[in-house]
Amino acid sequence: MRKKYPTDFKAKVAIEALKETKTIAELASLYEVHPNQIANWKKQLLDSVPGIFSNHRDRENADKEKVLECLYGEIGRLKVELDWLKKKQSIFGK
């Protein structure tokens, strides 16, 4: 059965690993956690650090740009369909 650790414990161990005052093996024996687990927590911490400092507006702007891109694509498809229907309408004389 897998052991689940609280997030504050994971953060504490990952920060200790980042400090590099002790080796991962020493931390593993101190906290009774497998060294690979500590390395994974350290990597997760390092990967999430840039997101902490990102501005909320930056994320909103990125979301808005994705929505605009999707909407412009839809407008383009609808314009092509409308042009096609107009062309077919003139062929059948209505």
Q: Where are the domains of the chain?
A: 1-53, 55-94
pLDDT band at 3; cut points 50, 70, 90: confident
Evaluate whether 13 touches 41 at the Cβ level (below 8 Å). Answer: yes
State the pLDDT at residue 2: 80
pLDDT over 80 (residue 94): no
Which position has the token pair 């997101």? 51
14-23, 31-40, 51-60: which range is least confident on average? 51-60
Q: Is 47 helix (H, G, I), strand (E, B) or coil?
A: helix
Q: What is the mean pLDDT of residues 48-66?
A: 81
Nearest Cα to Cα of residue 9 among 46, 48, 43, 37: 37
Which position has the token pair 């689940």? 4
Evaluate whether 17 touches 42 at the Cβ level (below 8 Å). Answer: yes
Contacts of residue 33, defined as CB under 8 A and 6 or more positions apart, other chains included, come to: 5, 13, 27
pLDDT over 90 (residue 11): yes
pLDDT over 90 (residue 52): no
pLDDT band at 69; cut points 50, 70, 90: very high
* Rounded percentage of the chain residues whose pLDDT exceeds 90: 69
